[in-house]
Amino acid sequence: MNPERLGAMVRKEFVQMKRDPATLRLMLAVPVMQLLIFGYAIRTDVRHLPTVVFDQSRTRQSREFVERLTATDNFVVRRQVHSYAEAVDEVDAGHARAAIVLPPDYARSLKRGRTAAVQVLVDASDPTASQNAIAAAQLVGQRLNVAIVGARSGLDPASPPVDVRVRPLYNPALRSAVFIVPGIIGMILSNILIIITALSLVRERETGTLEQLIVTPLAKWEIMVGKIAPYVLVGYVQMTTVLLVGHYVFAVPLRGPLLALYGASFLFIVANLGLGLFISTLGRNQAQVTQVAFLFLLPNVLLSGFMFPREAMPAVARAFGLFLPLTYYLEVIRGIVLRGNGLMQVWPQTLALAGFALAFFLFATRRFSKTLE
């Protein structure tokens, strides 16, 4: 190893980065823009479904039932309809996402102790958007039943036989942003760093500077380290920016030790840069390399657990996710930021990241050739 050679390579990359302030600005602005867009747009806690009501009972009891549903914030009554067919039509046409249908004998059945059948139609074509509404409707029904049965049997509704109290930990308000923002940090770092390094090496090939570079005594790994060094810094700046915006705009907590987070992030950043370098050796020009990079980016988003919980994936998809550094990093960053974990709790994932960093870097160095063939 020759520190002077390596130093020259690293310095040159920094100067080149400085000479291209437009790209530098983009690299810092894009993560913030993506965070703001995703942070506001991605909401898995869907509420306020537009709802129509077909109330054939038209009694105090039936109105009370509708009020109980709307009080959950999941249903917003848009209007009353006058036939079952009309209710279905409204949902079909997409004007309403839910319809509440109460039978003519609703109040009478309650009074006589018979079962009063209420129908709630929910547009479940998007399962995520509808699951809250479905759960809320079922809960309202149960509560009502408990109240009615309790009243009949003389039970005190204030002290039921079993009282299940769920306490949501780490994200008590169940806000999507709290869960999504740390994930966005991982996704943005991964996607931007892979693309940037993949293009950086192949660009030297295209402009002819690589030919001049590989005729020097620079070792392959020195070229590789020089290529990624400035982007480690870029990665850290991106990560810090997104973390700060997430904390102050989306009130995402920072519970764990930040030093552990920054340490593990170093491994993640190097892993992605190594992957980018590896990808750059798979193509001869920027167009080819961009295509190959995209091959990695979509699985990265879909299979790593950023979008969908990995627990819900079929075995094959879950196995594929094991080969993505992002999968492990998401566990690390969510653990540290949301659950206040230290390195002790996330060391297996951190170790995996170290393995990826080393492996990708070695693969890339091995594939990179100091010849023109």
Site of interaction with another protein (CB under 8 A): 2, 4-5, 7-9, 11-12, 15-16, 19-20, 207-209, 211-218, 370-373
φ, ψ at 169 (rounded to 5°): -85, 160
List the structure tokens of 279.
Answer: 């990808």
Q: Which is nearer to another protein, 10 or 302 (CB)?
A: 10
Least distance in Å: CB of 373 to another protein? 6
Half-sphere exposure of 174 (CA within 13 A, CB side): 8
List the structure tokens of 290.
Answer: 């961009």
Least distance in Å: CB of 259 to another protein? 33
What radius of gyration, in Å, describes the C-alpha atoms of the chain?
28
Cα separation of 119 and 137, whole Å? 10
Least distance in Å: CB of 215 to another protein? 4
Least distance in Å: CB of 191 to another protein? 25
Least distance in Å: CB of 196 to another protein? 16
Token pair 């943005």: residue: 188
DSSP for 24-92, written as a single string: HHHHHHHHHHHHHHHHHH--SS---EEEEEEESS-SHHHHHHHHHHHTTTSEEEEEE-SSHHHHHHHHH
Least distance in Å: CB of 24 to another protein? 13
List of residues 6+ apart from 197 with CB closer than 8 A: 227, 228, 231, 272, 273, 276, 277, 280
